[in-house]
Amino acid sequence: MEQHPFAPFIQMLGKGKQGSRDLTQQEAQQAMHMVLSGQVEPVQLGAFLMLMRVKEETGAEVAGFVQAVRASLDLPDKLPEVALDWPTYAGKRRQLPWYLLSALLLASHGMPVLMHGIGGGTPGRVWVPDALKALGIAPSASIAEAADNVRNRNFAYVPLNVFSAELERMLDLKAVLGLRSPVHTIIRMLNPFHASASIMGIFHPGYDDTHHQAGILLGEKNMAVFKGEGGEAERNPDGACNVKMLRDGEILEEEWPTLFGTRHMKDEAMDIERLVQLWRGEIEDEYGMAAVIGTAAIALRTLGRADSISAAEELAAKLWETRDIAYLQKVQG
């Protein structure tokens, strides 16, 4: 029986301790192109993803995968200018997704944000679509609508399946295979609208290095990756935060200090209405306020709006104090 064209990629990963090896960036790009173009059998896809999971993907492999995915996206010729790409794929279970207010804060001050993600994944978590619904913000139903929302409102949220139904199908294989796969890394680096900067959160140790290395290979100019609260791009004010960055192509690493002396308890209620209430100034929330301003500060530093951690934090606090509360109505459409 003639060998399947995709079989060599599985062989590269699965020949054992002595025979297996990492894929090159070019090989990873070719492999993902075959996956996305339907040239791979289901059993091969499962084997490939799980071999990659056991080995753990390299920065070069992620860069190749992302190149193939970007090439597969059906995008309009003219895209809106986006300041910040904000992937959100983890969901929150201990604290509310305060980073949504950080994104809206930046957008309300003239920094367009494109957010993309999923909803309804792991049970017991608050997912972005639910939180946006509480804020009165509808997801973009198409890429064209997302582009219009960015142009007219400075903010858009796009479900992953609008960009790529195949990527979401691969992501859903976690329920069948029982383990995350490289897709969880790839989707955070999509930056589909070619934003000038991107911010991403990780949960598993070591993946900040993987994202950082992939960003360098992809030629990203402005990027921040850090272990965020719950795996999202949200600064946890209860602990120090190591941020790996690219600023105008320069490689940086910064240690952002903890903001509180004692840790806050888990939010048992997870009442997403509090997001709206904090934005409107109707409630006080020590943790929530610190998370919003702290996350916005990392984004501002990534965008080049501040030349130090303290300057970024001061600017973020000023933006919050001068926020246009009515902006929420504008972004609701």
Residue 244 has pLDDT above 80, yes or no: yes
Give 269-310 pLDDT, tens digit per residue: 999 999 999 999 999 999 999 999 999 999 999 999 999 999
CATH 1.20.970.10 domain extents, the chain: 7-72
pTM (two decimals): 0.96
**For residue 252, what are the CA distances in angstroms to 32, 212, 213, 218?**
30, 10, 12, 16
Distance from C-alpha of 189 to C-alpha of 67, rounded to nearest angstrom? 10
Work out the pLDDT band at 205, boundaries 50, 70, 90.
Answer: confident
CATH 3.40.50.2300 for domain 7-72: no
Residue 121 has pLDDT above 80, yes or no: no
Give 24-50 pLDDT, tens digit per residue: 999 999 999 999 999 999 999 999 999
Q: Quote the pLDDT of residue 124.
A: 82
- 3-class SS of residue 300: helix
CATH 3.40.47.10 for domain 84-332: no
Distance from C-alpha of 167 to C-alpha of 10, rounded to nearest angstrom? 19
Work out the pLDDT band at 108, boundaries 50, 70, 90.
Answer: very high
Residues in the chain: 333
**Contact status, residue 29 vs residue 65, Cβ threshold 8 Å:** yes
CATH 3.40.1030.10 domain extents, the chain: 84-332
Return the DSSP state at 179. Answer: S
Distance from C-alpha of 199 to C-alpha of 87, rounded to nearest angstrom? 7
262 Cβ contact partners less than 8 Å away, ≥ 6 residues apart: none
Report the pLDDT averaged over residues 188-200.
Answer: 97
DSSP string, 201-245: EE-STTHHHHHHHHHHHTT-SSEEEEE-GGGSS---TTS-EEEEE
